[in-house]
């Protein structure tokens, strides 16, 4: 039972491709939603190379 559950979980994680840009978007949304504005500003400066090369600006407007 445990081995079947574990193998299914591993298959699920292996199928998902999570890239750094998606992580940056999730972190940015979390910081803004929870009113960590100074941290969000710093994060955006540090992760600007990820944010500027993607459509993250379009996603955050929705």
The series of mean pLDDT values per 10 residues for the chain, 62 residues long, is: 61 70 89 93 89 60 44
Helix/strand/coil for 34: coil
Long-range pairs of 41-48 with CB within 8 A, sequence gap ≥ 24: none
Residue 17: per-residue pLDDT: 75
**Alpha carbon distance, N-terminus to C-terminus of the chain:** 43
Joined together, the tokens standing for residue 61 give 């407007």
């Amino acid at each position: 039972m445990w081995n079947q559950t574990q193998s299914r979980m591993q298959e699920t994680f292996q199928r998902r491709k999570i890239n750094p840009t998606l992580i940056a978007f999730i972190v940015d949304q979390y910081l803004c939603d929870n009113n960590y504005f100074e941290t969000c500003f710093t994060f955006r400066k540090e992760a600007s190379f990820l944010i500027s090369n993607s459509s993250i600006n379009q996603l955050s407007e929705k």
